[in-house]
Amino acid sequence: MAENYDVIIIGSGPGGYIAAIRAAQLGLKTAIVEREHLAGICSNWGCIPTKALLRSAEVMHYAEHAKNYGLKIDGTVKADIKAVVDRSRGIAQRMNAGVGFLMRKNKVDVVWGEAKLTKANEIVVAKSSKKPMEPQAPLPKNTKGEGTYTAKHIIIATGARPRALPGIEPDGKLIWTYFEAMVPPEMPKSLLVMGSGAIGIEFASFYRTMGVDVTVVEVLPAVMPVEDAEISAFAKKQFEKQGMKILLEAKVAKVEKGANSITAHVELKDGKVEKITVDRMISAVGVQGNIENLGLEGLGVKTERGCIVIDSYGKTNVAGLYAIGDVAGPPMLAHKAEHEAVICVEKLAGLPNVHPMDKLKIPGCTYCNPQVASVGLTEAKAKADGKDIRVGRFPFVANGKAIALGEDQGLVKTIFDKKTGQLLGAHMVGAEVTELIQGFVVAMNLETTEEELMHTIFPHPTLSETMKESVLDAYGRALNA
């Protein structure tokens, strides 16, 4: 006898568990299915534990440069990689346990196992073939197991996994994905990172700060290629000052594995091949949706480029079936999944005036050193769209707080529609810009004009003053540069 629910969510990552909570808040009988670890990749192997690693690297950087702040540290600053990793894994476990608590608090049933759709409103849950993360927080008391479950609405939130290139597949020893890169048994002396998107460049930044000789290979003409070209170029220069080697318009054609090293044959843009031998290599060439073994084909669910096709409310082409988060396509960001979850649940629950997802207002953040953050159109995209624009820029080197922090290398860039004053895009590189970007995100959502931003009082001294100065600069009114 199948157990019936109003909503069943497959996957407990940022999209899945937020969908479950919102559904429960709306009075819907809800269950969430998980096969490996509550809280998904983001909290267990992605967003949160990587920031723990980067924080350790940041503290080490400041300790090594203590003299720049008038401080003296006797002796050599050394990294205890086991302790660094243990701290990161402990934080992951804490997040994992937190989601379990939220499921109990909101009376969401947790079903442990692997789900497969047999009908648009029915799943069969089998025993999981996946090994839970270590350490694994205790499962909630309201956990159920194998069996058949039905629901009026089923939401697929199964996330994504690292993409592999033929012939350069990760082996867990010499070629790492982000899984292995987060838990190195020892620190390599040299590292090649294939791909300079957010994942690749964050790991490149972490390992370089920890003293590793890092080479980044990117097939496109810029690091972090989705970012504004000017911001990307600024960041690249800072990475190179730190000793990172960056090869653009280059690709790893093949690899040769040694006993404890790997040699990459890198094809450069001039056609020449450079052989680079390193201790370890990270494959960070993107991710692909987890759409396999869900029974999608049998139901005729439309997929495209390894992801489930949805409308702006998370609906698939099959009635009663929805998808959110990474499995539903780019941008593959945790905060996009969370917002998508709320939109999807509120729409299926019949709430009025549910706003559809506007992907132009989704911020992107990369937690390298220096940090990079953006929202909206790049300058190139705005011009390609035929818009008549004004562009403002303001450097951190002219900001008092940045100078006091010893973090004066940064830039804020804003793009406005010349006719209407609409803020079309904002792009930032520098200290704490991942925290600052939300000011521009709020402004865009409120359809704020340049005049309103100019009339807004920003506190002094703060890094946020660079934001207002960038707006002023777009209109020839910058005060401090």
- Catalytic center residues: 460
- Side chain identity, residue 266: V
Which three-class secondary structure state does DSSP give residue 238?
helix
d(CA 200, CA 194): 7
Helix or strand run (H / E) with residue 403: helix 400-405
Rounded Cα distance between 393 and 481, Å, is: 10
Helix crossing, 14-25 with 81-105: angle to 10°? 20
Count, residues in the chain: 481
Instruction: Please give the distance of CA 440 from its chain centroid, rounded to a whole number.
Output: 19
Q: Are 252 and 168 in contact (CB under 8 A)?
A: yes
Strand 251-257 vs strand 262-267: parallel, antiparallel, or unpaired? antiparallel
Cα dihedral sign, 404-405-406-412: negative
* One-letter identity of residue 420: T
Record the tokens describing residue 319, joined without a space: 């009635």
**What phi and psi values does residue 251 have, to the nearest 5 degrees?**
-145, 150
Instruction: Work out the burial of residue 239: count CB atoms within 10 Å of its CB; fewer than 13 is exposed, 13-18 middle, 19 or more buried.
Output: buried
- Which residue(s) pair with 144 in the sheet? 111
Phi, psi dihedral angles at 377 (to 5 degrees): -80, 140
Q: Name which of 421, 331, 424, 413 is nearest 383 in CA terms.
A: 424
Quote the tokens at residue 31: 């269950």
CA quadruple 31, 48, 234, 396: dihedral, nearest 10: 110
Which residues, in sequence order, are CB contacts of 2 under 8 Å at separation 6+? 122, 147, 148, 149, 150
In sequence order, the 6+-apart residues with CB closer than 8 A to the CB of 227 are 235, 364, 366, 372, 374, 378, 427
DSSP string, 264-311: EEEEPTTS-EEEEEESEEEE-S-EEE--TTSSHHHHT--EETTEE---
